[in-house]
Amino acid sequence: MSNKKDLLIEIGTEELPPKALLKLSNAFTAGITDGLTKAELAFGQVESFAAPRRLAVLVKELDETQADKEVERRGPALTAAFDDDGNPTKATEGFARSCGVTPDQLETMESDKGAWLVYRSTQQGRPTAALIPAILTDSLHRLPIPKRMRWGDLDAEFVRPVHWVVLLFGDEVINAEVLSVKSGRDTFGHRFHHPDPIYLGEPAAYAPILETTGRVMPVFADRREAIRAQVMEAAEKAGGKAVIDEDLLDEVTGLVEWPLAVVGSFEERFLEVPPECLISAMKGHQKYFHMVSADGKLMPNFITVSNIESRHPEYVRKGNERVIRPRLTDADFFWNQDRKQKLEQRIDSLATVIFQKQLGTLADKSRRVAAIAEQCATAIGGDADLAARAALLAKCDLMTEMVGEFPELQGIMGRYYAQHDGEAAEVAEALDEQYMPRFAGDELPGGKTGQALAVADKLDTLIGIFGIGQVPSGDKDPFALRRAALGALRIIIEQRLDIDLQAMLEQAAAANAGLFDNAGVIDQVFDFMMSRLKAYYHELMVAPDTFEAVLAQRPTHPLDFDARLKAVTAFRTLTEAESLAAANKRIGNILKKTDEPIPEQVDSALLQDEAEKALFAQVETMAKSVAPLFATRDYEAALKQLAGLREVVDNFFDAVMVMADDEKIRANRLALLQRLRNLFLEVADLSQLQN
């Protein structure tokens, strides 16, 4: 049994990109563990460390050497291994030479497939210390770094300059050169609190000594939660509540090694500016957390997380207050300056901004979206004029100073400026709602005008970009078409909008007429949206074959699609479901195989067998019973009633020969089966369901 030791690997660098730190750490750890696994080395618990100036991995109880491996090489077949006199053939001699032995040292292996010469040996396992440098190098090469840099006159390339490397296996250093730096056992603490080397006696000492002596919290998750707790506590002491954005928290965690939350303030006069502007200035530029009062209103305070435990924290506070003031002053200036010109006065300037060179300017897009939004609003019982007005103003805030400085405020500022201009309340809200949902799980437009605008804008983009042939592929989706498709579908389904998607896509294609020549674009976009719909329902735990059963009927109203899915899902819980699904599959196969014409109506006079008469009678009765349910999309109730056909269907297949010799009787029975199947097809193709 191999002895075991702990392994510590640390790469010490200049400050790593804070937004990418966690991703780099996870990839680095995965690369090391994958390499150890491929080398067939057993190990215990693995710990990751990620701080602004380091990536590290601690592997506990790692095998000191690889296990010895029994190696078996198969040589020539026994029939070709020796000549008639029993002497080794040239093939045997060559095989023996390649194995480093003589022919008489080879063994024989027999199996059902024949007999061969074989060479068996024991391959001695290599020391782990000899394998680590290559495993580390491979892991570093595979890190998700978009652009690597070089420093000095070194050949090494990495995301940031590397200053030290720790390779410690047990209490011994693994000597290697990694990224042009020689490995050692010294780490370094906080850049300011403890810039001197820290001797590491063993891997397990790494985290404790870094935190106590080096003033570095090396575990990303621990540092993250320490920051959260400090920020919340600091806000509470200041009489408010901190609003913690998780992405910002991750970024701040990637910026500091030794966090200390400090509360600062700014003049209350800035609160006259929309809070989103102030928050964007604080978050985007300075990485501050903002505070709200008990009633949820923005307070004239911020919380910064310092990377230094200063003896004079008031200096840190004053310094940050001094830095944020110009940012807030800019926001205040933009707010006052932008309101001097109404949104509608910016419509003409949209003609100077290209949306996409083949699809024209933002002004062109606005006119197209207005035409689509009118139709969409009419379909959902909204106001077509308000929808058209909102569409013409929708992109105007992109021409303002505020959105130019803070692009993430597009739509939000449109709402504020439209309110200031005296636009209808629903129009103003729609300018914000057009971008919803902005991310997975985000809220959806609540007003009819916002819903019509959001759907219209997304469908115009989908039709246009598909029309010019820029279909998303792999990870490439520059126009965020996947998000647009899913967003439109979520709005329609979750806000219960009875929209005919096919008709809306036709309207969008008409609005784009003359811009491209793609006759199949409507079907292309529809199918693309159905693929996103499948992913949407997969998240909701809808069985894939249930989705395919409904998709086979190609319902064009997403709300209708949703009702059918729920009905089939409920139907599958019934005891009759499996038998009827199998019957539908059998009927489908029978109808597919026949080349003869099938009558549209069943001739009751041609019914001979009692079982087919009973089936016909029940099918006719059932058709009248479920027709009103289909008309109101009460598919669940309809399928529940159709489940009552199970017994007569089973009896029919037990007693009746469908493909009778008599041509008329055969055709009539096929017509009966088609009539039966068509009842189920009003909801879905149940033959698609798997047992």
Give mean pLDDT, residues 28-36.
97
The partner residues of 173 in beta bridges, in order of sequence, read 168
pLDDT band, very low/low/confident/very high, at 310 (cuts 50, 70, 90): confident
Whether residues 50 and 183 fall in one domain = yes
Q: Has residue 328 got a pLDDT over 70?
A: yes
The pLDDT score that the predictor gives to residue 114 is 81
The CATH number of residue 198's host domain is: 3.30.70
Whether residues 42 and 191 fall in one domain = yes
Q: Has residue 475 got a pLDDT over 60?
A: yes
Whether residues 456 and 585 fall in one domain = no
pLDDT-wise least confident of 462-476, 554-568, 589-603, 613-627: 589-603
The pLDDT score that the predictor gives to residue 380 is 97
pLDDT band, very low/low/confident/very high, at 291 (cuts 50, 70, 90): very high
Domain boundary among the residues 288, 314, 338 is at: 338
The partner residues of 77 in beta bridges, in order of sequence, read 116
Residue 421, class by beta-carbon neighbours within 10 Å (0-12 exposed, 13-18 middle, 19+ buried)? Answer: middle
Q: Has residue 363 got a pLDDT over 90?
A: yes
The pLDDT score that the predictor gives to residue 377 is 98
Whether residues 281 and 327 fall in one domain = yes
Give mean pLDDT, residues 181-201.
96
The pLDDT score that the predictor gives to residue 455 is 98
Per residue in 249-274, pLDDT tens? 999 999 999 999 999 999 999 999 99
The pLDDT score that the predictor gives to residue 82 is 86
Whether residues 98 and 200 fall in one domain = no
Residue 350, class by beta-carbon neighbours within 10 Å (0-12 exposed, 13-18 middle, 19+ buried)? Answer: buried
Q: Check if the beta carbon of residue 580 is closer than 8 Å to that of residue 649.
A: yes
Q: Count CA atoms closer than 13 A to 464's CA, side-chain side.
A: 26
pLDDT band, very low/low/confident/very high, at 112 (cuts 50, 70, 90): confident
For all residues of the chain together, what is the average pLDDT?
93
Whether residues 582 and 654 fall in one domain = yes
**Structure tokens of 444?**
């959806």
Percentage above 90 pLDDT, the chain: 78
Rounded distance, CA 487 to CA 77, Å? 65
* DSSP secondary structure string for all residues of 490-555: HHHHHTT----HHHHHHHHHHHTTTS---TTHHHHHHHHHHHHHHHHHHHTT--HHHHHHHHTT--
Tell which phi-psi region holds residue 487, choosing left (phi > 0), alpha (psi between -120 and 50) or beta: alpha
Domain boundary among the residues 338, 361, 389 is at: 338
Neighbouring C-beta atoms of residue 131, cutoff 10 Å: 19
Examine residue 428 and state whether it is found in any structural domain, yes or no. yes
Neighbouring C-beta atoms of residue 633, cutoff 10 Å: 18
The pLDDT score that the predictor gives to residue 240 is 96
The pLDDT score that the predictor gives to residue 387 is 98
pLDDT band, very low/low/confident/very high, at 285 (cuts 50, 70, 90): confident
Give mean pLDDT, residues 279-305.
95
pLDDT band, very low/low/confident/very high, at 79 (cuts 50, 70, 90): confident
Give mean pLDDT, residues 512-539.
94
Give mean pLDDT, residues 412-420.
98
Q: Has residue 671 got a pLDDT over 80?
A: yes
The pLDDT score that the predictor gives to residue 151 is 85
Per residue in 195-251, pLDDT tens? 999 999 999 999 999 999 999 999 999 999 999 999 999 999 999 999 999 999 999
Whether residues 148 and 170 fall in one domain = yes
What are the C-alpha distances in Å from 210 to residues 17, 189, 213, 227?
21, 6, 6, 18
* Max avg pLDDT among 113-127, 423-437, 586-600: 423-437
pLDDT band, very low/low/confident/very high, at 412 (cuts 50, 70, 90): very high
Whether residues 137 and 114 fall in one domain = no
Examine residue 548 and state whether it is found in any structural domain, yes or no. no
Give mean pLDDT, residues 164-185.
95
Whether residues 256 and 387 fall in one domain = no
Rounded distance, CA 555 to CA 572, Å? 20
Domain boundary among the residues 338, 364, 382 is at: 338
What type of residue is 558?
Answer: P
Give mean pLDDT, residues 610-634.
94
Whether residues 152 and 230 fall in one domain = no
**CA 506 and chain centroid, separation:** 29
Rounded distance, CA 52 to CA 287, Å? 15
pLDDT-wise least confident of 17-31, 82-96, 179-193: 82-96
pLDDT band, very low/low/confident/very high, at 473 (cuts 50, 70, 90): confident
Per residue in 46-61, pLDDT tens? 999 999 999 999 999 9
Examine residue 192 and state whether it is found in any structural domain, yes or no. yes
The CATH number of residue 508's host domain is: 1.10.3210
Examine residue 431 and state whether it is found in any structural domain, yes or no. yes
Reduced DSSP (H G I as helix, E B as strand, rest coil) percent helix, strand, coil of the chain, to 5 = 55, 15, 30
Q: Has residue 123 got a pLDDT over 80?
A: no
Residue 680 lies in domain: 564-688
Examine residue 434 and state whether it is found in any structural domain, yes or no. yes
Rounded distance, CA 148 to CA 85, Å? 66
Whether residues 198 and 233 fall in one domain = no
**Total tally of structural domains belonging to the chain:** 5
Q: Check if the beta carbon of residue 387 is closer than 8 Å to that of residue 427.
A: no
Whether residues 198 and 96 fall in one domain = no
Examine residue 556 and state whether it is found in any structural domain, yes or no. no
Q: Has residue 1 got a pLDDT over 70?
A: no
Examine residue 570 and state whether it is found in any structural domain, yes or no. yes
Rounded distance, CA 192 to CA 247, Å? 27
Give the dihedral of Cα atoms 65, 68, 74, 75; nearest 10 deg: 90
Give the dihedral of Cα atoms 519, 521, 523, 529; nearest 10 deg: 180
Examine residue 433 and state whether it is found in any structural domain, yes or no. yes
The pLDDT score that the predictor gives to residue 2 is 63
The CATH number of residue 625's host domain is: 1.10.730.10
